[in-house]
């Protein structure tokens, strides 16, 4: 199948993935803010545990970026929704993400590419950084200790957000892993926060906004 062009307005579409169609949702920046030359791909949590591109943490992350003028692309990994294929333990899912990256870069060659991932999506986005070299990366509750994070090469602009009462990802395992990674990063520890950020989504919005706004190519006039 031939991939569609990038939509001129927020829309859903289907891309050709490595093993068949991939569900994709493109959302343009909020109309009341200046559009940034940035497209962020947001990756969802574990497919076998109900993770989809409609997950509340994924949509909050995307909406937060849209409030900053960033275009967002969410998609379903293989086996989720109408995306073809079977769960592949993060291996084939990396190929799915690379297919979406290739389409975004073809359609938006003048845009920076940012990757955002929540839980399993954080793992997948981290694993492809060496190959796709995004300008920025946001890792929300990266599942250190549950998946093999070897060989990652995060960009210089890397934000990690971890809930301190995460019942699925061991927070201390995340902190220990970050201490072992030879890469600059900003770590935001969110107290009294569970894995799915129950009652903490507004705090998550604030953490993302504060962490990434300085990376935006078009900065607001400080005198305005």
Residue 221 is predicted with a pLDDT of 57
Domain membership of residue 223 (yes or no) is no
Residue pair 155/135 in contact (Cβ under 8 Å)? The answer is yes
Domain membership of residue 51 (yes or no) is yes
- Residue-number span of the structural domain to which 127 is assigned: 11-214
Domain membership of residue 5 (yes or no) is no
Cα separation, 200 vs 191, whole angstroms? 10
Q: Which residue has the higher pLDDT, 146 or 203?
A: 203
Q: What is the per-residue pLDDT across 6-56, written as a single tens digit (0 to 9) for each?
A: 999 999 999 999 999 999 999 999 999 999 999 999 999 999 999 999 999
Domain membership of residue 178 (yes or no) is yes
Domain membership of residue 221 (yes or no) is no
Q: Is the pLDDT of residue 74 over 80?
A: yes
Across the chain, mean pLDDT equals 96
pTM over 0.95: yes
Place of tokens 């990802």: 169
Q: Which residue has the higher pLDDT, 136 or 222?
A: 136
User: Exposed (0-12), middle (13-18) or buried (19+): which is 180, by Cβ within 10 Å?
Assistant: exposed
Helical residues (DSSP H) of 12-169, grouped into ranges: 56-67, 91-107, 120-132
Residue 36 is predicted with a pLDDT of 98
Buried b (16+ CB within 10 A) or exposed e, 45-83: bbbeeebbbebebbbbbbebbbebbbbbbbbbbbbbeeb
Domain membership of residue 205 (yes or no) is yes
Residue 174 belongs to domain with CATH number: 3.40.50.1820
Q: What is the per-residue pLDDT across 88-123, written as a single tens digit (0 to 9) for each?
A: 999 999 999 999 999 999 999 999 999 999 999 999
Structural domain count of the chain: 1
Q: Is the pLDDT of residue 224 over 60?
A: no
Please report the DSSP string for 174-223 in residue order.
HHHHHHH--S--EEEEETT--TT-TT-HHHHHHHHHHHHGGG-SSPPPTT
Confidence of residue 222 (pLDDT cuts 50, 70, 90): low
Residue 1 is predicted with a pLDDT of 79
Q: Is the pLDDT of residue 129 over 90?
A: yes
């Amino acid at each position: 199948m031939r991939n569609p062009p990038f939509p001129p307005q927020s829309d859903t579409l289907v891309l050709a993935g490595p093993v068949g169609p991939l569900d994709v949702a493109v959302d343009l920046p909020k109309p009341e803010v200046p559009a940034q030359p940035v497209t962020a791909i947001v990756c969802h949590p574990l497919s076998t545990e109900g993770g989809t591109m409609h997950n509340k943490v994924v949509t909050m992350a995307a909406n937060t970026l849209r409030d900053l003028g960033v275009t967002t692309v969410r998609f379903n990994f293989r086996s989720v929704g109408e995306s073809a294929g079977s769960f592949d333990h993060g291996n084939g899912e990396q190929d799915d993400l690379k297919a979406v990256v290739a389409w975004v870069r073809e359609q938006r060659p003048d845009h920076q590419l940012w990757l955002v991932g929540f839980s399993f999506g954080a793992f997948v986005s981290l694993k492809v950084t060496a190959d796709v070299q995004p300008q920025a990366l946001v890792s929300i509750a990266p599942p250190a200790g549950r998946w093999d994070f070897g060989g990652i090469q995060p960009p210089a602009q890397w934000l990690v957000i971890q809930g301190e009462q995460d019942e699925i990802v061991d927070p201390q395992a995340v902190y220990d892993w970050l201490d072992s990674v030879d890469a600059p990063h900003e770590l935001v520890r969110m107290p009294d926060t569970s894995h799915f950020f129950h009652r903490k989504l507004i705090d998550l919005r604030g953490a993302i906004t504060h962490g990434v706004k300085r990376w935006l190519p078009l900065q607001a006039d400080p005198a305005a």
